[in-house]
Amino acid sequence: MYQKLALAIAFSPRMEALIAEARKLISIFEGELVLIHVGTKTPELEAQLAEVLSRHCGDLHRIKTIWKEGKPAKTILKTCAEEGVDLLVLGALKKEGLLTYYLGSVARKVIRKATCSVLTLIDPKITTTHFSKVVINGTELEITPRVIARGLKFCQAEQSSQVHILNEIKLYGFQMATAGEGTETEVANTRRKLVQDEIQYVQDILDKLDQTGLKINIKVTAGKWAVELVRYSESIEADLLIMGDEQGLSFIDRLFPHDLEGILEELPCNLLIVK
């Protein structure tokens, strides 16, 4: 599914864990690995990287390290485009003394502008992470059918045990208040219809897809989808959240934070953004 995987490295204490995680993904997808470092190439750093690589990627032939200088976000994006990368792996930052993770400004910029999918790992481990509980954003957006299709493929490759697809009823309170002008039966019917419509939307997408080996649960919520996704992922202690990207972010979107921004501010778990 992902043939060319890139990993942005910064020689932080977590570099080795990130490389181990990337190596695991390569073995699942049978692809090749591109390491990108934005900064000066020195013999010490080269030696350090070679040592880590020999531990985790000794058997890997299709591997390439790119050293480039320049603005981090821009350089990473440019390199990904040049190399034809289809999945970029990044590490999230951890808030000092707290168990919460967030994305730095470079990572956010990369996620917004990348043309390839981006996987953000909040807590990479040398022993690698298994994404067993996965939440997929099933809210009605143009990109959603693609997100669900890619998400299921990823889960099949990863052999995830539970897949939850979340869809929300838009303006539920308002719609119910509007429906409140009807009789009790009418109100109950409206309530049922609102829920069923959302399940049907996801089901229609699922019907066209191969679901072999997956246990899929469709969950309907009410409220803002980004908030509900975070809440649900936290409540079931999900390992991975898969969602699409909101295209065409403009100046106005910066002024009025987008749904995606809310999630990037405080990551509930590992995050895969499908492009």
Partner 1 sequence: MESLAHQDVINLLLKLATMLLLARIFAEVAQKLKQPAVVGEILAGIILGPTVLGMVGPEFFEFLFKSSPSANLALDGIVQMAVILLLFIAGLEVELHLVWSQGKSAVSISILGLVVPFIFGFLAPYYFPEFFGITEDKKLLFSLFMGTAMSITALPVVARILMDMNLFKTKMGMVIVAGAMVNDLIGWLIFSVILSFMGKAGNFSLVNTFGITLLFTVFMLTLGKGLLNKVLPWTNKKLAWPGGVLSLSMAFCFLAAAFTEWLGIHAIFGAFLFGVALGDSDHLSEKAKEIIHQFINNIFAPLFFVSIGLKINFFTNFDLGLVLIILVISFAGKIIGSGYGALRSGYSPKDALAVGFGMNARGAMEIILGLIALENGLIDEKLFVALVVMALVTSMSAAPLMKWALKKKPGEAD
Which positions touch partner 1 (CB under 8 A)? 140-141, 169-182, 190, 197, 222-224, 227, 246, 248, 252-253, 256, 258-259, 262
Nearer to partner 1, 242 or 260 (CB): 260
In angstroms, give the least distance from the CB of 84 to partner 1.
29
d(CA 239, CA 201): 25
Residues 6+ apart with CB under 8 A from 74: none
Q: Which CB atom, from 123 or from 140, has the smaller least distance to partner 1? A: 140
Residue tagged 């889960």 (tokens): 155
CB of 202 to partner 1, least distance (A): 14
CB of 187 to partner 1, least distance (A): 10
Indicate the residue among 47 and 171 with the shorter CB distance to partner 1: 171
> Could you tell me the smallest distance in angstroms from the CB atom of residue 151 to partner 1?
20
User: Considering the complex, what minimum distance in angstroms separates the CB of residue 90 from partner 1?
Assistant: 25
Closer to partner 1 at the Cβ: 212 or 250? 250
Q: Do 86 and 3 meet the contact criterion of CB atoms below 8 Å apart?
A: yes
Residue number with CB closer to partner 1 (158 or 168): 168
